[in-house]
Structure 1
Amino acid sequence: MNTLKQAAIDRYPTSLRMLHWVRAIVIAGLLWAGWYMTGLDDEVASKYELYYPWHKSFGVLAFLLVLVQIALRWRTPTLPQPPQTLAGHERFLSRFVQRSMYVLIVAVPLMGYSMSSSYTMSDGVFFFGVNLPELLAKNDDLFVVFQWLHKVLAYTLLALIVLHVAGALKHRFFDSDPRNDVLRRML
């Protein structure tokens, strides 16, 4: 019985696992689209007619998904902790990377929203065809700041995602202690 109880705590609930993977796919697509669309010439019609509106919609979706995930994590009394078999620095790094990713997954869409809201030439902030209210005054000087923050924070998020994935794969395939396999908790 104790083993079954421990196994339940050693794996994230289905709702959090599903949100994790959906959010991961959405964010991977957003990072790729952001990189790709900003590299397109301004004369390419799809840059502003396709990529920017969809990037905004999926950015809002990523923001909403992370808010739901944070609420579910907060309401879930017991979640798996980094295995005690990991080295102390690995447990620290695991917590630091995970918390930093949550902060950035909230901050990056907020900076994107702030960019769109403050840019004088913006068509607004869309969420799959629905215009969201623009809460910031049009100000191109602020737009430049939000644009820089959006870019820097998105690349920082990408670096943390690479570290997160590399750590999970390292523990799964290279650690000698099978209890270090943290990936199975999300599968």
Structure 2
Amino acid sequence: MRWLHWLRAAAVLGTLTAGIVMVNLPDELPVKFESFYPNHKQFGLLALMLALAQGLLRIRHRMPEPPAGLAAWERTLSKFAHRALYVLMIVVPLMGYSMSSTFAQSDGVPFFFLGHLPELLPKNDKWFEVFKLLHRVLAYTLLALVVLHVAGALKHRFFDKGRQTDVLGRML
């Protein structure tokens, strides 16, 4: 589970970073469409698959209880944040895939050595605009939750008194 967590974290952070960089590049730069877009799509799908795999493992195997030293509000926030992270790690790539599928000028969704994956939906630029908005808003929401998740882990590691709330040690 640790390896899967860190592999998924790298895929999600890399995909988010590539997405932010690529949308801010001028359209005249060939690298935007030749490298950034295809890699963003590929790694987005990889992050989706890793999130699904980790979600299935979490269902099948009991996860450790939160540290006993956590306050009730921290337990509640942690549970909400983890659930929201999983939902967004599934929904954000699906919105991106739907966005790519519906865009009339899209050349599809590549996936590493498998080639292009089938389109999910018919071409429709009006739906593309809806999926584009959802993908963007939910991706920034995912980024905010990732920041909250990391901040919480660092808070428990470095700022809480004692070590009874340190969850980072379990994941390293």
- Indicate yes or no: 2:140 matched with 1:155: yes
2:140 & 2:28 partners in 1: Cα distance?
Answer: 25
- Name the aligned partner's letter for residue 116 of structure 2: N
- Indicate yes or no: 2:83 matched with 1:104: no
- Please list, as runs of the form range in 1=range in 2, the aligned pairs for 1:47-86 lying within 5 A after superposition: 47-76=32-61, 78-86=62-70
The residue number in structure 2 matching 1:119 is 103
**CA-to-aligned-CA distance 1:36-57 (integer Å, 9 cap, x gap):** 0001111110111110001111
- Deviation, 1:177, is 2.9
TM-score, reference length from structure 1: 0.89
Dislocated runs of 4+, deviation >4 Å: none
Query: Size of the alignment, in residue pairs?
Result: 171
The residue number in structure 2 matching 1:186 is 171
- Deviation, 1:107, is 0.5
1:94 & 1:184 partners in 2: Cα distance?
Answer: 16
State the structure with more CA Rg: 1
The residue number in structure 1 matching 2:24 is 39
2:76 & 2:26 partners in 1: Cα distance?
Answer: 43
Contact 2:97/2:120 (CA < 8 Å) preserved in 1?
no
- Deviation, 1:84, is 2.2
1:91 & 1:51 partners in 2: Cα distance?
Answer: 38
User: What's the C-alpha RMSD, in Å, of the aligned pairs?
Assistant: 0.8
- SS of the equivalent of 1:181 reads coil
1:68 & 1:121 partners in 2: Cα distance?
Answer: 32
- SS of the equivalent of 2:119 reads coil
The residue number in structure 1 matching 2:3 is 18
The residue number in structure 2 matching 1:174 is 159
**CA-to-aligned-CA distance 1:123-144 (integer Å, 9 cap, x gap):** 0011115110002010000000
- Name the aligned partner's letter for residue 133 of structure 1: P
1:170 & 1:139 partners in 2: Cα distance?
Answer: 46
- Name the aligned partner's letter for residue 142 of structure 1: W
% identity of equivalent residues: 60
- Please list, as runs of the form range in 1=range in 2, the aligned pairs for 1:1-16 lying within 5 A after superposition: 16=1
2:151 & 2:65 partners in 1: Cα distance?
Answer: 18
1:164 & 1:135 partners in 2: Cα distance?
Answer: 32
Contact 2:85/2:145 (CA < 8 Å) preserved in 1?
yes
1:164 & 1:57 partners in 2: Cα distance?
Answer: 25
- SS of the equivalent of 1:179 reads coil
The residue number in structure 2 matching 1:95 is 79
